Structure 1
């Protein structure tokens, strides 16, 4: 069986920037084990698989090690593929995730696309010594979302300087850890670490901004915010907090189109 595969750099307008995702548009679902093996072989933060069901596309995401509940950059990459290579003429694509429900991506002007995702409610918790030791820097505040911890710092420079202990991070009971602070040139910045998912540091994490947006909206007293993820590849996002939903906008560029022999 031959299967078309695309690799797209998401949340960037420059090749080799943002977060690379593989995308496979399937006729019917493959076995879970096979999709996991494809994701492991790709060795990217996420591989997205989509199957058209009427006017909706069912969508699932796999890291090299596990299937995840939600992935922003691979959703953006999938929409880019459908808009540009599968003849989707409408400006909005309806996705359905078995783990996260209804999601949409809307095509805007000048290459921008906007994800519409459910908000991840976060709550303030006491600082966790094991978490502080793993990151190597005590935050001003620690919060907990559905799957991730959020650690807040005073400055972009502090977030840039973090050098975590991935062995200790891998022992924590969470999907990942988000480090965030006010930005020098944007409203807020972040980094995301998820060694338990096989991703020591994710280049740009759309789903993390479902947690960051409600926090920074309250702190900054504004609903629409600019954001940058401070990985080596960097990534740029615009976030709009709408209560139970978050709109996350970004661009994408193609890296390769290929074929895998399953």
Structure 2
């Protein structure tokens, strides 16, 4: 029987019950993939992050309730928040190594945490007919990144009002579907649907902003942008386009600390 400290953190928000909840487990050594997947399923959050200390740095992996994923922004933000706040991590930025996404860094300044992530590479794509039917209209532009489609629409109201056919969304071969438009009070807004990884709609998706930031930076002609994800919980982000890297900044708050027995 193992006892593992578990933290649940709301990321990209300054208040509980907002942003995107993530579980964080700080381990002495890696558990089996099967056990980590079972913990992710039991937590039933968009992601559970597992971290293991290696020298002065940490390794990190992320599990949804159904699969391990290549990159997760909000759970990385949550993990860094836990390591800075509860483990007094001494170096700033914190370096996290991912087997699937390479070196990731998180810096903190006051209450703000900034992710340093690799920029996604976008290519113009044909819009899958299933997505046009699922969302009830064709986007103005469609792009394909490493794992996701980006559909660009005209207005914030359109993005906020979508109630897509999730079965059709799930039929498209992609980790997820990002829908986005210019914002009224921020530079751009978005939502993210990812049923193929076990989440119908992700509340706030840091990794999607590695795709959104280069697109909106070029379109708006500015490097630093404000963003809001229009899920029911909502989340606020500041993004900065740095060429091959993207900085994504937000806040986080603790919802619970506890211990699991496995």
Relative to the length of structure 2, the TM-score reads: 0.98
After superposition, what is the alpha-carbon deviation per residue over 1:101-143, rounded to whole angstroms, capped at 9, x for unaligned? Answer: 000000013x000000000011111222112112222100110
SS at match of 2:96: strand
1:241-260 equivalences under 5 Å are: 241-260=241-260
Residues 178 and 191 of structure 1 are in contact (CA less than 8 Å); yes or no, is this contact kept in structure 2? yes
1:6-45 equivalences under 5 Å are: 6-45=7-46
2:160 is matched with: 160
> Quick one: distance in 2 between partners of 1:221 and 1:45?
33
2:86 is the counterpart of 1:85: yes
Residues 91 and 108 of structure 1 are in contact (CA less than 8 Å); yes or no, is this contact kept in structure 2? no
> Quick one: distance in 2 between partners of 1:97 and 1:90?
18
1:187: Cα distance to partner?
Answer: 0.2
1:254: Cα distance to partner?
Answer: 0.1
Residues 9 and 253 of structure 2 are in contact (CA less than 8 Å); yes or no, is this contact kept in structure 1? yes
2:232 is the counterpart of 1:232: yes
Deviates more, 1:120-129 or 1:37-46: 120-129
1:149-188 equivalences under 5 Å are: 149-188=149-188
> Quick one: distance in 1 between partners of 2:60 and 2:134?
33
Residues 217 and 241 of structure 1 are in contact (CA less than 8 Å); yes or no, is this contact kept in structure 2? yes
Unpaired segments ≥5 residues, structure 1? none
Residues 77 and 252 of structure 2 are in contact (CA less than 8 Å); yes or no, is this contact kept in structure 1? yes
Residues 130 and 171 of structure 2 are in contact (CA less than 8 Å); yes or no, is this contact kept in structure 1? no
2:106 is matched with: 105
Residues 137 and 162 of structure 1 are in contact (CA less than 8 Å); yes or no, is this contact kept in structure 2? no
Deviant stretches of 4+, over 6 Å: none
> Quick one: distance in 2 between partners of 1:98 and 1:89?
23
> Quick one: distance in 1 between partners of 2:136 and 2:112?
36
1:37: Cα distance to partner?
Answer: 0.2
> Quick one: distance in 2 between partners of 1:136 and 1:93?
43
